[in-house]
Amino acid sequence: MLAPLKNLLGNVTMYVALQKALGSDRLRYRCLAELDLHDGDTVIDVGCGPAYYFDRLPAVTYFGFDTSSRYVEHASARYGSDRATFSTEIFGEQHLGVLPPANAVLLLGLLHHLSDDESRSLLRVASRALAPGGRVIAVDTCYAPGQGRISKWMSDNDRGEHVREPAAFEALARESFADVTGEVVDDAIRVPSSFWLMRMATPLHVAAA
């Protein structure tokens, strides 16, 4: 039933329009507000898509990664500058030591598209990419206790193949971070839906040092 709609999301204009029509943009803006970024900070955005929220950022040094060439081409054309670089690559260990340490790593709508092993690998790399005091924030479609019928239907039919319960997302994060907090957000968009907003800090390799 949702297959035609999911195919349309490959179109950048349709994707951004749908995000704003549903109110999903407000959820991403909330994540940015949680980070309280400042001019001069470094941000790594993994799964950045067309990065339509870039104008909401202060004067940061920004590195956006996405595997969709359409999204990256759009973002580069619109936002590429001396402080924004977009890459059609999978962010991984090969970028550690090449990119400057990040004050924030964004994983917005990404982990529920990745398997447990892929999520573990990404979270481990993200933990090592942080500057001292840096943080990672993630938000994903989830299955939540007491979730309504429409909300559960939305979770069941999400494009992501790894929609999880909050405890499962948190368990993956705790393999790389000592400080993990989160909350279910079910009032962010205009259609009943449940999302897990998760904050991660204090990488375990730092805590153990």
| Mean pLDDT split into 10-residue runs, the chain, 209 residues | 50 77 85 96 97 95 96 93 93 96 98 98 98 98 94 93 98 98 92 96 88
pLDDT (tens digit per residue) in 13-55: 777 777 787 778 899 999 999 999 999 999 999 999 999 999 9
- The pLDDT assigned to 2 comes to 46
Q: How remote is the C-alpha of 107 from its chain's centroid?
A: 2
- The pLDDT assigned to 3 comes to 47
By the 10 Å C-beta count (0-12 exposed, 13-18 middle, 19+ buried), 121 is classed as middle
* DSSP strands (E only) in 59-129: 61-65, 84-87, 102-108
59 is written with which tokens?
């004067």
> Would the pTM of this model clear 0.75, i.e. be above it?
yes
- The pLDDT assigned to 107 comes to 98
Name the architecture of domain 2-203.
3-Layer(aba) Sandwich (3.40)
Query: Do the beta carbons of residue 122 and residue 160 sit within 8 Å?
Result: no
Q: Three-state SS string across 153-172, please?
A: HHHHCCCCCCCECHHHHHHH
- The pLDDT assigned to 8 comes to 53
